[in-house]
């Protein structure tokens, strides 16, 4: 965010959650990415008094009627007692659910909503999407979540998953990168106005 905003507002300073006093983050209980992003941005603004940017994102699989969607991080249920990470459990469940789905019906997209809540009461919202497909086995060690199973349309020819892309390339095509780049000029204009 610092890099993207700096292109539009050179003297902006972006701080993260670790840079402000701890506060209770809201439960993400909204049915949309935008709803959850609004909850988080409003909570950050209320707790700090600072303009706050928050996002929510997830994977939407065509053959699963858009699921896991807003439940992406919790798709396989609450954390278990085993040593398997939530990401691994989510990926295993997704592969099992798509086991009989032919390759041509494994379309999916990552979706992101990003919100800026400003002390003036203004709320800016932008969305980003990265389209692609789900492959049949995990590949790559970068990224997180479903990146090891997702091949973006921009990389369909070589079949590289999001987890096999360097961070700069992933930022360029990702749903979150697209949403943040759309928000940045609007945010800079709002922040410049006072």
Confidence of residue 186 (pLDDT cuts 50, 70, 90): very high
118 annotated as belonging to a binding site for a ligand: no
Give residue 80's pLDDT.
65
Whole-Å CA distances, 151 to 93, 154, 166, 169:
18, 8, 14, 13
Choosing from 56, 87, 153, 171, the catalytic residue is 56
Handedness of CA 165, 135, 81, 26 (dihedral sign): positive
pLDDT digits (tens, 9 = 90+) for 67-103: 999 999 999 987 666 667 999 999 999 999 999 999 9
Give residue 11's pLDDT.
81
End-to-end CA distance of the chain: 19
Q: What angle do CA 59, 153, 151 make, to 5 degrees?
A: 55
| DSSP helix/strand/coil, 122 | coil
Confidence of residue 194 (pLDDT cuts 50, 70, 90): low
* C-alpha span between 42 and 69 (Å, rounded): 22
Note whether 187 and 124 are within 8 A (CB): yes
* C-alpha span between 133 and 131 (Å, rounded): 7
Provide φ and ψ at 24, rounded to 5°.
Answer: -75, 120
Is the pTM here over 0.85, yes or no? yes
136 annotated as belonging to a binding site for a ligand: no
144 annotated as belonging to a binding site for a ligand: yes
57 annotated as belonging to a binding site for a ligand: yes
In the residue annotation, 81 being an active-site residue is answered as: no
Name the DSSP class of 141: S
pLDDT digits (tens, 9 = 90+) for 122-180: 999 999 999 999 999 999 998 899 999 999 999 999 999 999 999 889 889 999 999 99
Give residue 10's pLDDT.
79
Give residue 115's pLDDT.
98
23 annotated as belonging to a binding site for a ligand: no
What domains are there in the chain, each with its CATH number?
A: 2-192 (3.90.950.10)
DSSP string, 9-75: -TT-----GGGS---PPPP---SSHHHHHHHHHHHHHHHHSS-EEEEEEEEEEGGGTT-BGGGGGGT
33 annotated as belonging to a binding site for a ligand: no
Give residue 139's pLDDT.
95
Give residue 41's pLDDT.
98
Give the pairing type, strands 150-152 and 123-134. Answer: antiparallel
pLDDT digits (tens, 9 = 90+) for 55-67: 999 999 999 999 9
> Which has the closest alpha carbon to 93: 70, 66, 108, 74?
74
Give residue 111's pLDDT.
98
């Amino acid at each position: 965010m610092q890099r993207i905003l700096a292109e539009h507002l050179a003297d902006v300073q972006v701080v993260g959650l670790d840079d402000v006093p701890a506060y209770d983050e809201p439960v993400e209980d909204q049915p949309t990415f935008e709803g959850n992003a609004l909850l988080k941005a409003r909570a950050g603004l209320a707790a700090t008094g600072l303009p706050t940017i928050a996002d929510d994102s997830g994977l939407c699989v065509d053959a699963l009627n858009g699921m896991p969607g807003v439940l992406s991080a919790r798709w396989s249920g609450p954390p278990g007692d085993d040593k398997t990470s939530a990401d691994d459990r989510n990926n295993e469940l997704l592969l099992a659910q798509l086991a009989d789905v032919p390759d041509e019906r494994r379309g999916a997209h990552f979706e992101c909503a990003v919100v800026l809540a400003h002390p003036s009461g203004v709320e800016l919202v932008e969305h980003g999407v990265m389209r692609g497909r789900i492959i049949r086995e995990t590949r790559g060690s970068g990224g997180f979540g479903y990146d090891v199973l997702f091949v973006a349309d921009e990389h369909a020819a070589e079949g590289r998953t999001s987890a096999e892309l360097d961070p700069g390339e992933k930022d360029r095509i990702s749903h979150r990168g697209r949403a943040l780049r759309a928000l940045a000029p609007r945010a800079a204009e709002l922040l410049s106005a006072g």
